[in-house]
């Protein structure tokens, strides 16, 4: 990642630049930062998706929310350049599942968690709906920016199909028994484990575990800080009226008390904005990457399952070859005594059967080997891409938070400095200036 300031700058020895006319305020310095990746991506992106306009739907069976999904694209595989459809959370969940089925070792950006029943009011309040809308918007745009997912037929259908067509397409997926079969295979592979996992994937697992612990801890601490700031804000809101009420009974202190009340009220407004920003921008990003950590671990498990399947087929083939090469004369003679055939004829038939089984198993093994190679290469490439996106997202969130923090404290400082200046002016006017 490289950083650059605005024009009219001089280069420092470390390769960065400094604007000679830049203000000295920390906030103004942060404002100079730009991500080169963001500027480059704006020129190459060819699918733009917006999720907005949530609507509540009430039926005899359920109550649910749908969101408008608007798409603008210049891609030739689309029949038009603009589309507008309505989708509910289950549709987003279906899309995520289809992408994971088709590309088990690519990293699909997480969706917000399913709602846990805590009361209908909480489920459909404005904050909940808006938080989910932003998360769904980000999910689709992450898919649109992905070099493989963005070309998926399922993604195209999600963006363009009418509700009836989408329902019909969703029914074409693998049936329940097929999904159960895959689940049983995955469980068996997980129990069997892998014997020769490449070191780079072990390193990935260790990274995912460490990342999960750190980002989860940061998420919890940040949420606790925001809760404490909300409590502080509620306490602060009581101060202003108290000072104002006090001013009515203190004639000589009436003006300073009213000014303090005004300062507290102004700081309340700034604190409220600060808490809202942290709650709307920093916490969602941190929690989003808590979910991403779970996704990473799930992808690595699927990769291990593919390798375990390959290793299982390799062992089965080796066992079958051993059976073919084993001396089975005793069995042949026993069978010969029963059916009246020569031992050599029985042996040849058995060898021919084993040969056919071995060929079939070798073909299956070749497919499993190709699948494992594709899975490994896909994961390595997508891992690098994901890390780059993650670092850009988190760095952007941290810089934005730093900028907001600096701005918040500067504004509160200015409020109290104004109060101090007014008190000094009053003191000078009354001749009460300290000669020291």
Interval 176-190 mean pLDDT: 52
Concatenated DSSP letters of 120-169: HHHHTSHHHHHHHHHHHHHHHHHHHHSTTGGG-HHHHHHHH--HHHHHHH
Report yes or no: 169 and 157 within 8 Å, Cβ to Cβ: yes
pLDDT at 342: 67
pTM above 0.85, yes or no: no
**CB contact at 8 A, 45 and 72:** no
Question: Does residue 381 carry a pLDDT above 50?
Answer: yes
The region of weakest confidence among 2-6, 210-214, 268-272 is 2-6
For residue 28, give both structure tokens: 């103004």
Fold category of 202-313+344-423 in CATH: Substrate Binding Domain Of Dnak; Chain:A; Domain 2 (1.20.1270)
How many C-beta atoms lie closer than 10 Å to residue 101's C-beta? 13
At the second CATH level, the architecture of 43-166 is: 2-Layer Sandwich (3.30)
Highest mean pLDDT (candidates 191-200, 324-333, 373-382): 373-382
Pairing outcome for strands 17-19 and 34-35? unpaired
Q: Distance (Å, rounded) from C-alpha 44 to C-alpha 400?
A: 25
SS3 state of residue 19: strand
Tell me the domain boundaries of the chain: 43-166, 202-313+344-423
Please give the order of strands across the beta sheet that includes 82-88: 47-58, 63-73, 82-88
Alpha carbon 23 to its chain centroid, in Å, reads 36
What count of Cα atoms within 13 Å lies in the side-chain half-sphere of residue 370? 6
What are the tokens at 388?
Answer: 């780059």
Are residues 23 and 10 in contact, defined by beta-carbon separation less than 8 angstroms?
no
85-143, pLDDT tens digit by residue? 999 999 999 999 999 999 999 999 999 987 644 444 455 688 889 999 999 999 999 99
Residue 126 token pair: 């404005």
> 371: which strand partners?
none
Q: What is the pLDDT of residue 429?
A: 66
pLDDT class of 417 with cuts at 50, 70, 90? very high
Q: Give me the percent of the chain exceeding a pLDDT of 70.
A: 77
């Amino acid at each position: 990642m490289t950083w650059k300031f605005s024009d009219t700058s001089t280069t420092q020895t470390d390769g960065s630049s400094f604007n000679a006319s830049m203000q000295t305020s920390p906030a103004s310095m942060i404002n100079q930062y730009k991500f080169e990746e963001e500027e480059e991506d704006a020129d190459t992106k060819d699918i733009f998706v917006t999720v907005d306009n949530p609507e509540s739907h009430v039926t005899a069976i359920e109550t649910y929310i749908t969101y408008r999904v608007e798409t603008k694209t210049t891609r030739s595989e689309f029949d038009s350049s603009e589309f507008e459809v309505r989708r509910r959370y289950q549709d987003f969940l279906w899309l995520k599942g289809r992408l994971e089925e088709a590309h088990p070792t690519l990293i699909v950006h997480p969706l917000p968690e399913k709602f846990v029943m805590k009361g209908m009011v909480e489920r459909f309040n404005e904050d909940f709906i808006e938080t989910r809308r932003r998360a769904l918007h980000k999910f689709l745009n992450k898919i649109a920016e992905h070099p493989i997912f963005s070309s998926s037929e399922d993604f195209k259908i999600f963006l363009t199909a009418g509700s009836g067509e989408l329902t019909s397409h969703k029914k074409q997926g693998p049936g329940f028994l097929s999904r159960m079969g895959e689940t049983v295979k995955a469980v068996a592979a997980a129990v069997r484990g892998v014997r020769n996992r490449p070191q780079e994937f072990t390193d990935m697992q260790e990274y995912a575990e460490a990342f999960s612990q750190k980002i989860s801890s940061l998420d919890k601490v940040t949420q606790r800080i925001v809760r404490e700031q909300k409590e502080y804000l509620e306490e602060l809101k009581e101060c202003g009226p108290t000072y104002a009420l006090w001013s009515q009974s203190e004639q000589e202190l009436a003006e300073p008390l009213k000014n303090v009340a005004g300062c507290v009220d102004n700081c309340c407004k700034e604190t409220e904005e600060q808490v809202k920003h942290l709650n709307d921008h920093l916490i969602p990003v941190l929690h989003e990457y808590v979910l991403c950590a779970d996704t990473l671990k799930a992808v690595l498990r699927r990769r291990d399952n593919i390798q375990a399947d390959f290793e299982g087929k390799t062992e089965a083939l080796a066992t079958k070859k051993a059976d073919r090469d084993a001396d089975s004369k005793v069995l042949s003679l026993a069978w010969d005594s029963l059916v009246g055939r020569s031992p050599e004829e029985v042996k040849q038939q058995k060898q021919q059967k084993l040969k056919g089984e071995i060929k079939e198993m070798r073909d299956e093994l070749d497919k499993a080997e190709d699948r494992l190679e594709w899975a490994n290469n896909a994961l390595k490439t997508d891992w690098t891409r994901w890390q780059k996106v993650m670092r850009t997202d988190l760095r952007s969130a941290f810089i934005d938070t730093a900028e907001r923090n600096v701005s918040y404290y500067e504004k509160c400082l200015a409020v109290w400095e104004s109060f101090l200046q007014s008190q000094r002016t009053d003191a000078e006017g009354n001749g009460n200036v300290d000669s020291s």
